[in-house]
Structures are given as structure tokens and as C-alpha cells.
A and B are shown apart, each in its own frame.
Chain A
Amino acid sequence: MRHAPGGSRSFGAAVCAALLVVTACTTDNGGGGTEGNGGNGGSSTDTIRGAWIEDPTTFDPALTQTTDDYRAARIIYDTVIRRDLDGELIPGLADEWELTAEGAVLMIGEGHTCADGTEITPTVVAESLTYLADPETNSLHTTGIFGDGEVSITGDDDTGEVSIELSEPHTDLLVGLAIPQAGIICPAGFEDMEGLAAGGVEGAFSGPYALTSANLGVSYEFELREDYGSWVEYSEQLEGTPAATLEFVVGGADAVANQLLTGEIDVAPVNTEEVARFEDDDTYELTVAATGEAYVMINHGETSPFQDEDLRRALAQIIDREALRDIAYPVGDLIATLGDENMLCANTDFDLLEHYDTDAVGDAFEGVSVNVIGTEAIGQNGAATIYVQEQLAAAGAEVDLYNTDVGSWVDQIYEEPETWDVTVYATVNNLGSISWGLGTVIGPWYVEGGRNMTYSENPEAAEAFEAAMSAESEEEMCEHYQIAQEAALQSVDFIPVSMVTQSIISREGFSVQTPGGKEDATTLRILD
């Protein structure tokens, strides 16, 4: 009966053989691109592999609404204006522009073409921007780019000009035209709107890459257009060469760091807590992009104890902004307003802020009930609001904390203002302008058609903010913004913390830039 040994040997041999086959078959790491596990991939490939969090919801730039939508739009559509590496506005499809009292005039350059060879003329640009501005389009970005008034856009192919006329002045117009959401759609896109949204109309693309493969939930591939000649001329020439192919795998943010370490992908944003895994390895480089501003949002409404300016001041005194920054966005710069020093018109005077001084608070919070709400997305498992809760409790307040998912949290801020008093908020500042963040704490309330979610009443700040939005020169605009920021900071309408950041890791042999602090996949390069 004991025949097992012979059988065991055969079985063992079979298992070993199977393992060898599996191992031999899989040493490519499944990536199918550059070298595997941590090798130098750069010069030996013409492909750069990145990662997206989820599938883009649309390839129509006007209808984009998620980070990955914006990432895709930047790759396949060019804009009339671009941002230089330091944030300055530089030519895109437009060679020159002029901000006027009525809007702006753009001078469209020559030689720009769509992916189907169609020339990008002022008429083409005007048609695309008109679509973006049209209320029927129901774009999330129309107001940010063109303001609240009516918009009229015309293109003149003889003079090469595109005129944008606004019924209400809007100083964010030019920075708005530089964001990927304002990407120029070529005429072929308007002939097949469904195909445009699905990314299936190659002739619609005005940018350097064309979408060639969309595998839902798995990956997206873009090929460099052979006829493309509209590369942005940055003040510093980008080192390396653009990839012939860009491939973005779709995966959870949690898996991306592992994929970078195994060499399955080359460049990708990673979670803040994963950055430490790359810090001691000089074959990886960290690039920081700014996506918005983090601040302590204070409810000034009737039901909130923070209607009282003295209590808001006391709140500012018990918040160590540096500590809160370290918890929420450790690589973000501290800010003295809702924007950093690279942002036009941003206040840089930190003396305008209340300083951390818990002793000065005294018994201001004794017997005060405070409802703190937050999301687990800011700081690990909602650590940012937990910090605020702890500080308030230590100061003697009776604190209720409600940390939840982003959707419920945002909904509560907007729809149930009577249920919260303070939260740690992070703007999504696509425009990269000072007005975007300030608009959430100054000016008309959300329920009255504005963007202010704090129910603050600060007439001085509101008037200056409005004047800044309709200023006729940069100097005038910044003067008004400074007044608005000083007025809001002096009455502690909000407590600035830091820039909201996105950490991008690139493997040796690859690089990426962040023009104006924003992630931009058209700057991805393979280094020699």
C-alpha cells in the first residue's frame, strides 16, 4: 500500500515544473512596456505608463467633472492659453491676447491643426468656446471661466482674432481659458457629440495625443500625433522626449505605489502616506502639484457659536496651523490666504493671521457646544478634523465630531448648515486663481446663488472682492483682492492652513512638470 513516495516525487516534480513555467511566463511583470522591477526604463522605451484613479466620465472637455477627466482633457485638447512652469500665462493656440473692459481678444496662431488635419482657425476656436459658454451645455466650468453674465464669442479668420464679450466683467477669464476644461474641440467633435463624450472622434482632438484605446476599468492608451507641431514653449525647455505612447492603467490609489515599486508603471500620483516608501530611494523623484487650498471653514450662521467674532479669533488661536498642515497635507506650503505666493494677488503677509496661542484663549470655550464635521479624505482617516476636535475639547468646549465620506460631508455643508459649526475644507481650485477659494468664504451666499458656504457677512471684504472681479488692470485687481483678504482675515472669517497637494512619483528615466502647480501629462518626458 505504501506506494506514496514514487507518486509524491512525480507530484512534486509536476508542481516545480508548473511553478517554473509560471515564473518564466511572468517576469515581464505584466506591464508589457519598459523594464521590470525597478530597472531604468527611460531611454529603452517610447512608452510612459501612468495611473488614473478611475475611468474618465467623459472626453468632452466642457462636461468634465473629475480629476481623471481633466487629466485626459489636457492630453487630447489644447487650450488657447497655457501656464508656464512658474504659473505665468503663456501662448497656447493663441499667440497673443488682450484683456479688455468687455472681455478679451485672442490672436490665434497659424499652423495649429486638429488630429484630422483641419486647421484650427479663429472660427473653430470661437465655435468651441461658444459651446463651453452656452448655458444649454450645462458645463460645471462656465461660471468660473466666463463669470455670471452673458457671453458672446466671435471668430474672424481674416484678422485671426477671437473676441470674447462678457456682459459682466470677469478678471478670471484668461486663467480660465488656460485650464484643460476649456480645451478646444475641433469641428468633427460637434458632428458626433456622443462619440465626442466617449472619446471616439479622433478628429475632435486638438492636443498632442489621440485616444487610441479605452478599456473600461483597465487602461487607456494615447498615441502621439505624428503631425502635431503645437508644443508649448515654456520658459525653460523640458528635458527629454515626449512618449510616442501614453498608457494609463486604472487602479485604486492604494495599488499605485506598489506598481511604481515593481516597475509596472513609470509616473503616477500616490497617496500622501505612501510617499515615505520612496523617500530613501534616489531612483524615484517626487513632484508636488497643487490642487487647491486647505483651510478651517467656519460657519457664521445663526445657529453657530462662531457668529461671534471673538470666538472665531479664539478658534484661530487654538489651531496650530503648522501641525494641522502636517496632518492634512504634509508637503503643502503654509498659506496666508486661499492661495500661495505663486498665485496672482495672493496675500503673503502671515502677520495678518491670528497666531497660535492657547493661553490667550482663557475660558472662551467654557460651556460652548461645537459641532465639528469632516471627511476621512482630509488627513488619514479624517485626522484633520479630529485635530480640531481635540483642540476645542482641550480648550473646554463640548465637541461633537462627525467624520464621514466626502459625499455626505459636502452635502451636509451645503444642505444642512444648521448641523455644523466648523470643518476643515479643501477647495478644488481648477482655475488656480485667488478668487476661487475666496469665493467660498466671501461674498454672496450659496443659497442666494453665490458660492459662499460660510454665511459670513463682511461688507468690506465682499465689496472689495466684487471690485476685484471687475477690475480693468492687474494692479487694480490685486489692490482690491488685498483689501478683501485683509478684511476677511482680520475678522477671522476663515483660517488658512496650506496648499492641497498631490504627490507625483516618477521612476528614474522619466519626468513630469507641474505648470502653474497643476499636473499636466503633456509635460511627461522620457529622459535620455
Chain B
Amino acid sequence: MLIALARPWPAFLLRKGTELVLAVLVLIVITFLTVHLVPGDPARVIAGTDASLEHVEATRERLGLDRPVLTQFWDYFSGVLTLDLGDSWRRPGVDVNEIISTRLPFTLSIAIAGIVITIVASLIIGLSVAGLTRGNRNQWLDSIFGWVTAGVLALPVYVIGAILVVIFAVNMGVLPAAGANSLSAYILPVAAIASGPISSMSRLVRREAAIVLEQDYMRTARGWRLSTARQFAKHAVPNLLSSTLTLSGLILASMIGGAIIVETVFAWPGLGRAVVDSIIDRDFAVTRGIILTVGTFAVAMNILIDIVLALVDPRTLRAGKALT
């Protein structure tokens, strides 16, 4: 078995490594081009609405925007290679790495909490609905489940966020409306960011579980009179992990990207809000640093999922391509 696995692995890892490098190179080029493609002169915006022509020119020089484009690209590219993203354009003396390292934990914390809650809640809800509706029983529950999850999926996350704020903060007064000053401040952003993924993943789990529950090994387990919890934990869940893991990896990556909206609604001090502010302020050093970080993270997550799936199911290796 080990020998059989050993051969495909180097090729697989090499391919994935190449994909990562290519994706990062593309990201570097795209993030660099944002400076030149977004309308408006960054030097004018950074210098200020009422800045004199002289002040604008001084700002342009400070930002290095008066140099040839290729020189600017090389400086940026070589900086990225040495993990030096330079200073914020808006806040001279403040390192972009420092801004990212300050903001990243906030985004990661709600994204990771969101994905954990998504996985747990989806497994509980999906398995419960699948179990209770097995063999065409309780069709009303299946209908309600379908309607509710479709309804939640149809709502944009900012609407869900606003509804949560109105109910739990403004009307009930039990949770903070915004900010990150306390542990309780995490609840609404995490709920908002997880609501959509819980709906989509629980539908997936419910569908997969319905198939699994009809398998022979599940009938055998029921025949052994194992408790429902044991049946699910020992036999159903492991067979659902592959698809759940694949989807959760994708959801985590999208949660970090999608944090822009949630962070804006809840004034959450993460990367999402920082990138929005930096675009408005034309602080493109921060913009491209964040996009590069988030983009690299998303690519790395996908590759990590492929590797995990290859470990869980070696057929994906032999097929030459992971399920993603």
C-alpha cells in the first residue's frame, strides 16, 4: 500500500506546488495593476482634496508613482519575494505587514468560528433531517427544511446581518450592535457569516446522509440495534466527511473573502473592512497586500483540501486529480 502511494505523491505535490506558485504570480501582477487600472490619481487622493499641485507632486514622488511602471513593478515584486510589502501610503511609517497582522486575527477568528459552527450545525441539522425523513416519513419536515434553508440562502449576508442587529442588539439589547470590544461581539458577525453556509452545507449533508442511511452497512448497524448516535457517529459521519470537508474548505476561503460585507455591517476591524477603507482612500499598498494575502490563503486552502482528500481517499491521487 505504501509503495503504491509513494509514486503518485511526488508528482501530485509538485503539481500542487506549481499551481500555488502560478496563482501567486498571477495575484502579484493583478494586485500591481490595480494601482494603474482603478480610476483616479492615488497621489491626489492621498494628498487630500484641497492639496496644492506642489503637494500632490511631492506625494507622488513619496509614493514612487513618478517612476517608470516596470521599475515600480520590480520594486513591488522583489518586496513580495522578501515578504516586505512596504509602508502604507496613507500612514507613512506604518508597515503593511503590521496592518495585516493586526487585522488578520479578527477576520480569521470569525471565519474559523464560522466554519466550525457551520460544520457542526450542518452535520447535526442535515443528519437529523435525513434521519427523521428516512423512508418518506415526516415529509412536512423535509418541506420546512427546504423552505427555510432556501430562504436563508436567498438572503444576502448584509440583510441577515441587519436583521440580527435589529433583533438582538437594537430591540432585545442582549448583544452589541458592532465593534470588537468584547467576546459577545463575536456572536452576531459569526451568526451572520455562518447562516448561509449552514443552509447550503446542511442541504448537502441531508442529501448525502439520505443515501448513506439506505446503504447495507447502515441497515446492518440498525440490525445490531446500535443507538442512533452510534450509528451516525461510527458509520454515517465518516462517509459524509469527504464531501463536507471539500465544501467546508471552499466555504472557509469564501468566508474570508466574504468577510468584507460582514465586517462592514458590524464595524469589525478585520481585513475586509481594511481593504474597503484602503480602496476608498487609494491606499493601494494596503489593498494589494491584503488581496495578495487573502488570495494566497484561498489558493493554499484549496491545495490543502486536495492533499487531505488524497490522504483520505487515495483514488483521487491515482485519478491524477483531487475532487476539487
Contacts and interface: CB of A to CB of B under 8 A. Distances in A.
Contacts of A367: none
Contacts of A55: 91
Contacts of B41: 411, 415
A446 interface: yes
A511 B160 CA distance: 34
Nearest to B39: A408
Interface stretch (B43-51, B73-81, B147-155, B287-295): B43-51
A30 B280 contact: no
A309 interface: no
A1 interface: yes
A140 B59 CA distance: 11
B90 interface: yes
A335 to B, nearest CB: 19
Interface string B151-195: 000000000000001000110011111111111110100000000
Interface of A: 1, 3-4, 7, 22-23, 25-32, 36-38, 54-55, 57-58, 65, 138, 140, 143, 194, 197-198, 216-219, 249-252, 254-256, 258-259, 261-264, 404-408, 410-412, 414-415, 427-428, 446-447, 449, 451
Contact of A255 (B48, B92, B103, B265): B265
Contact of B229 (A7, A22, A29, A218): A7
Nearest to A447: B53
B277 A54 contact: yes
A106 B28 CA distance: 55
B176 A138 contact: no
Nearest to B283: A57
Contacts of B173: 27, 29, 36-38, 262-263
B102 interface: yes
15 contacts: A26-B182, A29-B175, A30-B175, A54-B277, A58-B92, A138-B55, A140-B55, A216-B269, A254-B267, A258-B170, A263-B173, A410-B40, A410-B45, A412-B40, A446-B53
B287 to A, nearest CB: 12
Contact of B179 (A28, A54, A249, A406): A249
B228 A3 contact: yes
B206 interface: no
B282 interface: yes
Contact of A406 (B177, B265, B273, B280): B280
Contacts of A252: 178, 264, 267, 273
> Which of B51, B93, B177, B266 neighbours the largest number of chain A CB atoms within 10 Å of its CB?
B177
Interface residues of B, number: 58
Nearest to B186: A30
A396 to B, nearest CB: 30
B52 A251 contact: no
A484 B91 CA distance: 39
Contacts of B82: none
A4 B52 CA distance: 74
B15 interface: no
Contacts of B49: 406, 410, 428
Given A410-B44, A451-B52, A26 B179 contact: no
Contact of B40 (A4, A65, A264, A411): A411
A451 B50 contact: yes
Nearest to A198: B93
A411 B39 contact: yes
Contacts of B184: 22, 25-26, 28-30
A426 to B, nearest CB: 9
Given A252-B267, A255-B177, 20 more contacts: A4-B228, A22-B184, A26-B174, A26-B187, A28-B184, A30-B175, A32-B181, A55-B91, A140-B55, A217-B106, A218-B180, A249-B178, A249-B179, A250-B269, A252-B178, A259-B176, A259-B177, A262-B170, A411-B40, A414-B44
Nearest to A215: B269
> Which of A29, A30, A197, A256 neighbours the largest number of chain B CB atoms within 10 Å of its CB?
A30
Contacts of A404: 39
